[in-house]
Chain A
């Protein structure tokens, strides 16, 4: 599997230099959000707003009113927790074209509670006028810059940084989910970093005779409930959601709402943070500790099928994750 170094840095710079109405805003996390090179090479398009997120959100609303499209760079958690009122009144309500680039989503940071955006999807998707996107690989990080900038209104994006695996070879498209496998035993719905875990689990589950249908979400809002329901209806045993987020308000809730509103009875296991904060640690440790990893997914599938697979840590570590090529379709809305 190919690893791509700092895909956001290159993609943002390539896009922004072609679009003078795009402004690069930072709140003292410039190198942490991979825009230090952009700051140095394009200082006229870069605005340092310092450690003052409340002002940054309202300021960005004013820039939007002036016809600019500011990209705000910070850790995801700092873009909505402290400046929530400003996000509502200055950005979301008036539908400013503000692009909120939230780095280090969920437990991808060792920074602990203060740095971990574990309820951002839940918060953002309840905000009227907001679009919510999430990246799961290098290709999605590269393509989210231009795609987010097509939104006629504000958009929040969960961005992966640093060394990011390339899983897909087709760009992120708003409203399109990726159908990564079309099995008929269990439906697995993932997004962001949990997709790679599910791909690992899927390989092992396939060998054990479990047929998995796997959806990867990059658009949380607008949420394609009809398609989720269609896929859920086509599996025998039920649905597992696996998210780098609290299970309340995120993918688990979205899928539950979709099934309930459609009147489709399917068992649902929601994996993710279970009404708990996380603490600081490495990503693999936290994924294991909080049950966000491939092994947790295998156990959830066993719970639905009622049969043990015999899959353990060793089998999962041995499972190779292959990049997904365009033969696997990305379905439209």
Chain B
């Protein structure tokens, strides 16, 4: 039996797995791994109180959507442990980070590496945009902005029942453009929902490019405070800073940690693509080979063995 990995090791493992996957599949959500690896590693490896996974290490195939006739339907929540009063729940609000979240599940021993091979394959539950039935996903979040509201409702209900478990949302800064995010913060503050916290990946990037070009959101921290949240601002790649932020008291208020991240952290070679980083594709085999060598060197691994094409 191996020793429990350090959170830094988990983060490094996430970057390596996502990089390897992107190389083998001619593209992927690389920058999300760069910005969020420490954050997801922090959540799964130490910040959250999660029970052991109750799901198969190799994810089951797609088993149908929820309906009155689909009695066997289950969500991917079981990968985060059983629904028990003492355990926390985690929503991955930007479901586009699914590849990164799956890589994290593997690194913390909740999913087999084979799970990543099923990513975005027809008939698989390991979907590209995490669905409710995808490993580690607890609710549908592919439409941005709904995660924090859902979490607030769940947290209110859990507090009402006297459950010790908290509700955590991994968010993206792009969600600050959605009005619903602000509705959720004001509601959580109004109802004193203190068992709710969020970790927001502030990478300043969105699908069209840099957020400042697409739609400026201004000073998110001040806005969140004015809406009633306790806010911490940290370097997303500094684990001790994340730990200190999580320890902030926030009784009767949601805590939102703004994790200022670099969308190329650990893979600086990607700066050549800036600001189009949302989904990295290769225009040619040469380009892929060049990136393979350069980023592998940054990650301290051998270039990924690729079949000829």
Residues on B with beta carbons closer than 8 Å to the beta carbon of A63: 153-154, 156-157
Quick one: CB contact mask for B43-72 with A, threshold 8 Å, 1 for yes? 000000000000000000000011110000
Quick check: A55 and B149 within 8 Å, CB to CB? yes
Count of CB-CB pairs between chains A and B under 8 Å:
106
Quick check: B154 and A65 within 8 Å, CB to CB? yes
Residues on A with beta carbons closer than 8 Å to the beta carbon of B149: 54-55, 57-59, 61-62, 86, 90
Quick check: A62 and B157 within 8 Å, CB to CB? yes
Stretch at the interface among B107-115, B183-191, B228-236, B254-262: B183-191
Residues on B with beta carbons closer than 8 Å to the beta carbon of A68: 157, 160
Q: Nearest chain B CB to A44's CB is how many angstroms away?
A: 9
Interface range on chain B (Cβ under 8 Å from partner): 20 to 34
- In chain B, positions 259-287 with a C-beta closer than 8 Å to chain A are none
Quick check: B66 and A129 within 8 Å, CB to CB? yes
B161: CB under 8 A from chain A? yes
Specify which of B68, B140, B187 is in contact with A52 (CB 8 Å cutoff). Answer: B187
A50: CB under 8 A from chain B? yes
Closest chain B residue to A48, Cβ basis: B190
B158: CB under 8 A from chain A? yes
Residues on B with beta carbons closer than 8 Å to the beta carbon of A90: 139-140, 146, 149-150
Quick one: CB contact mask for A38-72 with B, threshold 8 Å, 1 for yes? 00000000011110101101111111111110000
Quick check: B152 and A62 within 8 Å, CB to CB? yes
B143: CB under 8 A from chain A? yes
Quick check: A58 and B184 within 8 Å, CB to CB? yes
Quick one: CB contact mask for B3-30 with A, threshold 8 Å, 1 for yes? 0000000000000000000000000000
- In chain B, positions 158-186 with a C-beta closer than 8 Å to chain A are 158, 160-161, 179-180, 183-184, 186
Interface range on chain A (Cβ under 8 Å from partner): 20 to 34
Specify which of A58, A64, A152 is in contact with B180 (CB 8 Å cutoff). Answer: A58
Q: Nearest chain B CB to A308's CB is how many angstroms away?
A: 48
- In the assembly, what is the distance between CA of A93 and CA of B70, in Å? 12
Quick check: B156 and A49 within 8 Å, CB to CB? no
Quick check: B157 and A61 within 8 Å, CB to CB? no
B155: CB under 8 A from chain A? yes
A89: CB under 8 A from chain B? yes
A94: CB under 8 A from chain B? yes
Residues on B with beta carbons closer than 8 Å to the beta carbon of A129: 66-68
Closest chain A residue to B141, Cβ basis: A89
Closest chain B residue to A63, Cβ basis: B153
A128: CB under 8 A from chain B? yes
B132: CB under 8 A from chain A? yes
A213: CB under 8 A from chain B? no
Quick check: A62 and B180 within 8 Å, CB to CB? no
Quick check: A50 and B179 within 8 Å, CB to CB? no
B41: CB under 8 A from chain A? no
Q: Knowing A89-B143, A94-B140, A129-B67 are in contact, say whether A62-B161 is a contact too (CB < 8 A).
A: no
Q: Knowing A62-B152, A93-B132, A93-B140 are in contact, say whether A50-B157 is a contact too (CB < 8 A).
A: no
Quick check: A93 and B65 within 8 Å, CB to CB? yes
B242: CB under 8 A from chain A? no
B198: CB under 8 A from chain A? no
Residues on B with beta carbons closer than 8 Å to the beta carbon of A94: 66, 75, 132, 139-140
A95: CB under 8 A from chain B? yes
Closest chain A residue to B151, Cβ basis: A62
Chain B residues proximal to chain A, CB less than 8 Å: 65-68, 75, 132, 139-143, 145-146, 149-158, 160-161, 179-180, 183-184, 186-187, 190-191
Known: A54-B146, A55-B187, A66-B160; 5 extra A-B contacts, CB below 8 A, are: A50-B186, A59-B150, A62-B150, A67-B157, A94-B140
Q: Which 3 A-B pairs have the closest CB atoms?
A: A62-B153, A66-B157, A58-B149
A-B contact pairs, 24 of them (CB 8 A): A50-B183, A50-B187, A52-B183, A52-B186, A54-B149, A55-B184, A58-B150, A58-B153, A59-B150, A59-B153, A61-B139, A62-B151, A62-B152, A62-B154, A66-B158, A66-B160, A67-B157, A68-B160, A89-B146, A90-B146, A90-B150, A93-B65, A93-B66, A129-B66
